[in-house]
């Protein structure tokens, strides 16, 4: 029986499920598993695939879920993530939703378990197997590219004022490592640590990768970062690096192409 990130069992569902997804990348994965018609709720940040989500009601944001709205939708399943959603909200949802599936992918290869988990719960094993095969192919393609190039230490800012980045035990860092980009700092007390531009470890950074989300860095921000870092700065699609699930397949191929462009 499938187990989620909290070790909770979720038996395969009989009948037509009513799914609410509280995570953008999981909403996309639900649709790519052929379950778009079973999606009855989403957050305002769940925007892909656009056409399929037009009819799906919003239940607030990832951090401010409107419990009263969610309750009215009478879901059989709510899908949440440890990093994306507030613990107190998820615990409150568990009081009135039969099945709350909590995930916490931290490495690139955790996507395979994610496909199997949701595919097993919603009896979409064939679709999950298809995604797993596509993922494995893309993973091998990226490995072949990165094996021919020297590894680089990179800084990946995710916020400004305060400046924040990622620690190596995050999904983002794992995706970048698969491409041969090792994030700094190597260690930090928080998974998403704040940093100052005079930190000694910045001397080892070879390149700054400036993502499109969660903070929307502008061209002006890019110029500021280049001046502060005194290193090459490359814009990068944040969705391709931070969205797990089915988007990881495109993300791996995106990183392979980008890595080759920056040789």
Per residue of the chain (263 residues), give pLDDT as tens.
778 999 999 999 999 999 999 999 999 999 999 999 999 999 999 999 999 999 999 999 999 999 999 999 999 999 999 999 999 999 999 999 999 999 999 999 999 999 999 999 999 999 999 999 999 999 999 999 999 999 999 999 999 999 999 999 999 999 999 999 999 999 999 999 999 999 999 999 999 999 999 999 998 999 999 999 999 999 999 999 999 999 999 999 999 999 999 87
Could you tell me how many residues make up the chain?
A: 263
Rounded to 10 degrees, the C-alpha dihedral 187/244/112/31 comes to 170
What gap in Å lies between CA 66 and CA 55, rounded to an integer? 18
Three-state DSSP at 138 gives: helix
What pLDDT was estimated at residue 113? 96
What pLDDT was estimated at residue 56? 97
Rounded to 10 degrees, the C-alpha dihedral 30/31/35/38 comes to 90
User: Cis bond leading into 87, ω under 30°?
Assistant: no
What pLDDT was estimated at residue 143? 98
Q: What stretch of H or E contains 103?
A: strand 99-103
Task: Retrieve residue 147's tokens.
Answer: 């094996």
What region, left, alpha or beta, does residue 174 occupy, with left being phi > 0 and alpha being psi -120 to 50 degrees? alpha
Per-position b or e across 145-165, b if 16+ CB within 10 A of its CB: bbeeeeebbbbbbbeeeebbb
Question: Which residues lie closer than 8 Å to 21 by C-beta, 6 or more apart?
Answer: 27, 30, 39, 41, 42, 43, 46, 78, 79
What pLDDT was estimated at residue 3? 86
Strands (E), 49-90: 77-81
Question: Which residues lie closer than 8 Å to 99 by C-beta, 6 or more apart?
Answer: 10, 13, 76, 77, 78, 121
What pLDDT was estimated at residue 227? 97
What pLDDT was estimated at residue 263? 78
Q: Are the CB atoms for 242 and 183 separated by under 8 Å?
A: no
What pLDDT was estimated at residue 1? 73
Task: Retrieve residue 76's tokens.
Answer: 């059989």
R_g over Cα of the chain? 19
């Amino acid at each position: 029986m499938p187990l989620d990130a909290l070790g909770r069992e979720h038996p395969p569902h009989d009948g037509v499920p009513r799914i609410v997804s509280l995570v953008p990348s999981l909403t996309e994965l639900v649709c790519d598993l052929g379950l778009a018609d079973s999606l009855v709720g989403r957050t305002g940040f769940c925007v892909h695939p656009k056409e399929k989500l037009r009819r799906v009601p919003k239940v607030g944001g990832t951090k401010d879920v409107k419990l009263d709205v969610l309750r009215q939708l009478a879901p059989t399943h709510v899908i949440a993530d440890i990093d994306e959603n507030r613990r107190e909200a998820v615990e409150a949802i568990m009081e009135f939703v039969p099945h709350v599936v909590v995930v916490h992918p931290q490495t690139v290869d955790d996507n395979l378990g994610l496909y199997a988990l949701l595919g097993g719960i919603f009896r979409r094993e064939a679709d999950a197997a298809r995604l797993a095969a596509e993922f494995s192919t893309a993973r091998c393609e990226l490995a072949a590219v990165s094996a021919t190039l020297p590894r680089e230490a990179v800084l990946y800012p995710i916020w400004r004022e305060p400046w924040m980045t990622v620690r190596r035990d995050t999904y983002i860092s794992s995706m970048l490592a698969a491409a041969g980009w090792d994030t700094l700092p190597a260690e930090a007390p928080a998974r998403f640590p704040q940093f100052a531009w005079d930190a000694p470890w910045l001397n080892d950074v070879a390149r700054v990768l400036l993502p499109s989300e969660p903070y929307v860095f502008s061209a002006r921000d890019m110029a500021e970062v280049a001046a502060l870092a005194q290193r090459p700065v490359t814009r990068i699609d944040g969705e391709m690096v931070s969205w797990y699930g089915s988007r990881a397949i495109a993300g791996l191929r995106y990183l392979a192409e980008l890595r080759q462009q920056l040789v």
